[in-house]
Chain A
Amino acid sequence: MSNKMTSVSTSKVSLKSKLRSKKGQQLMVIITFMIIPLTLLVVFTGIPFVKMIEFSFYKMKYIGPREFVGFQNYIDVFRRDDCFKSLIVSVYYMGGALVQLVLALYFATMMVFGVKGSSVFKGAIFFPYLICGIAVGFIFRFFYARGFVLDTILTGLGFNAESIPYWLQDKRINNISLVATSVWRYMGQNTILFLGAMMSVSPDLYEAACLDGANKWHQFRYIILPSIKSIIVLNLILSISGSLSAFEPPYVITNGTMGTGTYFVIMNRLAHENQKVGLACAMAIILFIIIIICTVMQKLFFAYVFDDGTADESKSAVRRRKNEEKKLKRMLERE
């Protein structure tokens, strides 16, 4: 083992000197390979982002004079009825995301315990994720329309036709109907993510647990759940920004009428129909700030809650062990 280690390090040294002698060529590769992606990044993300911050302080249209208004746009986001309501609507979507997570967790667990024909189930549950948002919109406009799919199914099941509510017009439930489409669309993708993480647990572990007399619940609680807790938290946090970003289905199904305007639907309307560019930019910046907060939360969560390894190993020990493992893996690959 130690023999190999030295051979690796000597080859590294010789490579290093080789690289240094080719510094010029290396620089050229770096520049030519990065110039296009960096230009694209600056032009289509960097500059727009800076401009967005600038515009958010002005009252302006796409063309014509503009007027500096300070933080008025930001205040308006919380004062204006349409903007503020859209924030409330996103709470529905967050609730939906929670339901979706629980369902995904359930189905992924069922599949990890072994199912015949799992690829069929996987495919069926996942496929909605790949359908274009506009098509999803049409599918559910049809699904919820009065007297169409859902109503027919319900009356077929024996519900009284008159007691069935208007799924898209009734303000008490229309947001729930729309959130359901989003659960329908994304639940399968979550399931696949969870399943991927669960599968990374060595099957020996399940076998050993079985021999020790662990039942399914114990397996879930002590093997499966720990293996995917970080991905669950990740998804929980992502669902906050995700629920503010819901766009195409509500845009097609109700176009944001009857109090179903999500944050993006309202932002789109303000930006491109009403040409309130400054206000739309302020909305975008607020969304961005929320996303940053979520990301920081996620980082903190991973740093302080999860990365502590097991009880008898300190954080730094875990890190050392992981590095050691990485090195070993690399060495094995080199052979």
Chain B
Amino acid sequence: MKKMKLGTFIFTIIKYISLIFASIIALIPVLVCVLTAFKTNEEYANTSVLDRPQSFLNFDNFVTAFKQANMLRGFLNTGLVLVVVLVASVFIGSMLAYVLNRFEFKGNAFIRNLFMFASLIPGIATQVTVYQIMHKLGFINHLYGYMIVLMGTDIISIYIFLQFFENISVSLDESAIMDGCTYFGVFFKILFPLLKPAIVTTMVLKGVGIYNEYYMSNLYLQTPDLKTISTALYTFTGPYGNQYNYICAGVLITIIPILIIFLIFQKQVYGGMAAGAVKE
């Protein structure tokens, strides 16, 4: 092997140092939370935030946080919303993409543009008037109302499905039609099973989005037994104002599921990011 040139060597050093530095910066705020979450009230009051807790097995804060913020309710509600909305939006999104990709009809381009245009309208901003509609429909303070608002198709999942359909050869449809299959049959029996990778990607992306969603659940689910995970977490602004050992425990409880999903579906998450980026 050739000897490394000095320039390359320095470049390599800089490369690694900067990446390690960035990773540390990215992780420190979260890691400090981990340290703090395991501290008893006494330790919390008397030790520096960077000190290690006496024991990493002291789960009292987690238990307290879980109970106080009623996170069990939050997880149950968020879980239910996730299941229903994800299943529904996979079907809604893939069916829409199927029609838009496979059929040429008047208004095809118009509908694509409509969804594109809709994606430009800032979500939080329209809630002022969506609130009124929700009120008129009697959707406020009902889990199903919140679910239905979330089902509104987002442009990113449409794009992911559209891209995917583009790469599935039309000859598959053709031969199935020749064999006497209906269009419904083509979609449900032949194409839908092939969509699996796209379905996983949209589910992961949309799932993370729903899990983290705060604004609408705060607006449309106002009773305590309808708290979702993020509104449950928000309750820590109140009584625990500065007891950060409890707050950190609460924060970690909400982060852990996301971390697990991320570790399992890294590829899909990164891939989905790229799909979202090419929306111009």
Give A contacts to B, CB under 8 Å: 11, 15, 18, 22, 25-26, 29-30, 33-34, 36-38, 40-41, 43-49, 51-52, 55, 62, 103, 106-107, 110-111, 113, 115, 119-128, 130-135, 138-140, 142-143, 145, 148-149, 152-153, 156, 184, 188-189, 192-193, 196-197, 215-216, 230-231, 234, 241, 245, 247-248, 252, 264, 267-268, 271-272, 277, 280-281, 283-284, 287-288, 291-292, 295, 298-299, 302, 333-334
Contact = CB atoms under 8 A, between A and B. Distances in A.
A134 B214 contact: yes
Given A33-B95, A34-B96, A132-B254, A284 B16 contact: no
A219 to B, nearest CB: 11
A332 to B, nearest CB: 10
25 contacts: A30-B99, A34-B99, A40-B153, A43-B133, A45-B118, A45-B152, A47-B129, A48-B129, A49-B121, A111-B19, A123-B266, A128-B30, A132-B230, A132-B254, A134-B233, A135-B251, A138-B247, A139-B30, A142-B247, A145-B244, A149-B49, A196-B274, A197-B274, A234-B280, A284-B122
A284 B128 CA distance: 9
Interface in B186-245: 187, 208, 211-212, 214-215, 219, 229-230, 233-234, 236-237, 242, 244
Contacts of A121: 19-20, 22-23
A18 B237 contact: no
Interface string B98-133: 110001010000010011001011101111111111
B228 to A, nearest CB: 10
Contact of B15 (A115, A125, A193, A277): A115
B60 interface: no
* Centre residue among A134, A230, A252 by max chain B CB count within 10 A: A134
Contact of A110 (B19, B103, B229, B274): B19
The 8 closest A-B pairs by CB, nearest first: A284-B125, A132-B212, A124-B23, A48-B129, A33-B95, A196-B274, A51-B129, A29-B183
B48 interface: yes
Contact of A247 (B98, B118, B124, B230): B124
Contacts of A152: 48-50
A48 B219 CA distance: 15
Contacts of B269: 126, 130
A202 to B, nearest CB: 17
A123 B262 contact: yes
B149 interface: yes
A107 B18 contact: yes
Contacts of B98: 33
A271 B133 contact: no
Given A44-B130, A120-B23, A135-B254, A149 B183 contact: no
Contacts of B105: 26, 30
B203 to A, nearest CB: 14
A110 B125 CA distance: 38
B266 to A, nearest CB: 7
B22 A107 contact: yes
Contacts of A123: 262-263, 266
Contact of A33 (B29, B99, B115, B177): B99
Given A62-B131, A252-B234, A41 B254 contact: no
Contact of B183 (A26, A41, A192, A283): A26
Contacts of A47: 129, 133
Contact of B208 (A130, A192, A197): A130
B151 interface: yes
Nearest to A48: B129
A193 B277 contact: yes
Nearest to B50: A152
B254 A288 contact: no
